[in-house]
């Protein structure tokens, strides 16, 4: 029996609805397995800006750091959209990842057989896709200094800095190798070593780390080739590891394989058990309060929480199998209604109830 306190940061837009749906499924898991999960709620993103003037305050961050895991909805919305504003919702995300040392972002992309038709790619190409992208999350371009706009001799100019040290590369490639060991033991390390010095370091360190994992086959691929291969032969990938910016772009590309943003979970992990779990989609403000958004991405994120932060792998698999059964039984939210044998159109909370009722 596991007792755990989970920090819940619903954020903005549909965040409250999807976190509520995930908690309903977590509670059903707890009731079946005799576990006890409690939840402490905090604000992040626009909601935190409105309440505290900052996208994530110190108290909420401290509470998250002391919890077993963090469940996060999504942040952002038109009210806080001005890109020149000094306080912006996504600063909350960057801060929590950086300060809690959550350097490895895991994004599994698995195509549910009931939804093969939802993919924009042909069935022959996409069927059987089951890959995991591990993106470095706390280094690279999004954090390098200087990052600024200034006046130069030719007018306005701007600079961003791409920097990595070997420790940052080693830990995320090592994490990816360990994840590959638990899967099909194939790792693709993605870089741009023909052009970038950081990529040459990345490849050098990745080769050193790979030598520690004799049972994992490691290949190295340029990011442009990887982008092509993802749409031409997605089933050739098992685990992909890459730096922050390449990972940001490749994960969005890979997410399209599954057919809807509403299906894809993510986990951000560091060296300890603490992890942050969130869907890959945003706060979908136009759907807020309508009870129509697909909660599956958030519910599968909760399954990852059970697996990686609470060591409850059987319970995680039970949620994943239950999602599969619910889809096989024809239940669909609006975004996937046209895919496969969709017979029952349901809203957010009803989908969560269907999934909870099918837990093994």
Ligand X SMILES: NC(=O)c1ccc[n+]([C@@H]2O[C@H](COP(=O)([O-])OP(=O)(O)OC[C@H]3O[C@@H](n4cnc5c(N)ncnc54)[C@H](O)[C@@H]3O)[C@@H](O)[C@H]2O)c1
> Using CB under 6 A, which of the segments 35-43, 140-148, 215-223, 292-300 binds ligand X?
292-300
Using CB under 6 A as the binding rule, whether residue 282 contacts ligand X is answered as: yes
Q: Is 271 a catalytic residue?
A: no
In the complex, least distance from residue 309 CB atom to ligand X, rounded to whole angstroms: 19
Using CB under 6 A as the binding rule, whether residue 284 contacts ligand X is answered as: yes
Which parts of 214-273 interact with ligand X (CB under 6 A)? 260-262
Q: Is 192 a catalytic residue?
A: yes
Sole binder of ligand X in the list 67, 294, 301, 322 (CB under 6 A): 294
Using CB under 6 A as the binding rule, whether residue 335 contacts ligand X is answered as: yes
Residue 243, judged by CB atoms within 10 A of its CB (0-12, 13-18, 19+), counts as buried
Active-site position among 248, 291, 292, 328: 248
Using CB under 6 A as the binding rule, whether residue 74 contacts ligand X is answered as: yes
Select 46 or 206, whichever has its Cβ closest to ligand X: 46
Select 78 or 182, whichever has its Cβ closest to ligand X: 78
What are residue 133's phi and psi, to 5 degrees? -95, 130
In the complex, least distance from residue 261 CB atom to ligand X, rounded to whole angstroms: 4
Active-site position among 27, 130, 160, 252: 252
CA 119 to chain CA centroid, Å, is 19
> Using CB under 6 A, which of the segments 50-58, 121-129, 172-180, 274-282 binds ligand X?
274-282
Q: Is 252 a catalytic residue?
A: yes
Active-site position among 192, 238, 277, 335: 192
Q: Is 224 a catalytic residue?
A: yes
Using CB under 6 A as the binding rule, whether residue 281 contacts ligand X is answered as: yes
What are residue 234's phi and psi, to 5 degrees? -60, -25
**Is the distance from CB of 312 to CB of 306 less than 8 angstroms?**
yes
Q: Tell me the sheet residues that pair with 158.
A: 149
Name every residue whose Cβ is closer than 8 Å to that of residue 227 and which is 6 or more positions away in sequence: 249, 250, 253
Give me the 162-191 binding string for ligand X, x by CB under 6 A, dash otherwise: ------------------------------
**Cβ atoms within 10 Å of 130's Cβ, excluding its own:** 14
Cα gap 210→172, rounded to integer Å: 12
Please give the biggest Cα pair distance in the chain: 68
Using CB under 6 A as the binding rule, whether residue 115 contacts ligand X is answered as: no
CA 223 to chain CA centroid, Å, is 20
DSSP conformation class of 343: -
Look at phi and psi of residue 70 and say left if phi exceeds 0, alpha if psi is from -120 to 50, else beta. Answer: beta
What are residue 174's phi and psi, to 5 degrees? -60, -45
Sole binder of ligand X in the list 10, 42, 76, 270 (CB under 6 A): 76
Select 198 or 268, whichever has its Cβ closest to ligand X: 268
Sole binder of ligand X in the list 129, 251, 283, 326 (CB under 6 A): 283
Using CB under 6 A as the binding rule, whether residue 82 contacts ligand X is answered as: no
Sole binder of ligand X in the list 286, 289, 290, 344 (CB under 6 A): 286
DSSP conformation class of 139: S
Using CB under 6 A as the binding rule, whether residue 77 contacts ligand X is answered as: yes
DSSP H helical ranges for the chain:
15-33, 46-52, 58-65, 90-99, 123-126, 166-181, 197-210, 223-232, 244-255, 296-308, 313-328, 348-357
**Is the distance from CB of 44 to CB of 75 less than 8 angstroms?**
yes
Task: Show which residues are catalytic.
Answer: 142, 192, 224, 248, 252
Interface with ligand X by CB under 6 A: which residues?
74-77, 93, 260-262, 278, 281-286, 293-294, 297, 335
């Amino acid at each position: 029996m596991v007792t755990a306190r989970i920090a819940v940061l619903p954020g903005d837009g549909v965040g409250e609805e999807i976190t509520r749906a995930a908690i309903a499924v977590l509670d059903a898991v707890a009731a079946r397995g005799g576990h006890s999960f409690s939840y402490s709620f905090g604000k992040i993103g626009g909601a935190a800006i409105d309440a505290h003037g900052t996208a994530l305050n110190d108290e909420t961050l401290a509470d998250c750091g002391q919890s077993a895991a963090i469940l996060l909805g999504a942040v952002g919305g038109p009210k806080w959209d001005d890109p020149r504003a000094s306080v912006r919702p996504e600063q909350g995300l960057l801060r929590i990842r950086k300060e809690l040392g959550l350097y490895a972002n895991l994004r599994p992309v698995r195509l549910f057989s009931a939804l093969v038709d939802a993919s924009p790619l042909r069935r022959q190409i996409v069927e059987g896709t089951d890959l995991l992208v591990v993106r470095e999350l706390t280094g690279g371009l999004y954090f390098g200094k200087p990052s600024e706009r200034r006046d130069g001799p030719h007018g306005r100019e701007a600079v961003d800095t791409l920097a990595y040290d070997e420790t940052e590369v080693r830990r995320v490639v090592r994490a990816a190798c360990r994840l590959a060991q638990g899967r099909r033991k194939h790792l693709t390390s993605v870089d741009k070593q023909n052009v970038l010095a950081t990529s040459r370091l990345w490849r050098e360190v990745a080769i050193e780390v790979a030598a520690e994992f004799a049972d994992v086959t490691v290949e190295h691929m340029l990011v442009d080739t990887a982008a092509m291969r993802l749409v031409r032969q997605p089933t050739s990938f098992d685990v992909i590891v890459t730096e922050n910016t390449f990972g940001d772009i490749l994960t969005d590309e890979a997410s399209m394989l599954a057919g809807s943003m509403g299906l894809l979970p993510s986990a951000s992990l560091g060296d300890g058990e603490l992890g942050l779990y969130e869907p890959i989609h945003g706060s979908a403000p136009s759907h807020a309060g309508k009870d129509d958004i697909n909660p599956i991405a958030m519910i599968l994120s909760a399954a990852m929480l059970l697996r990686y932060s609470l060591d409850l792998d059987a319970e995680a698999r039970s949620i994943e199998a239950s999602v599969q059964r619910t889809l096989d039984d024809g239940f669909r939210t609006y975004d996937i209604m046209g895919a496969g044998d969709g017979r029952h159109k349901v809203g957010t909370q009803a989908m969560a109830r269907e999934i909870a009722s099918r837990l093994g």
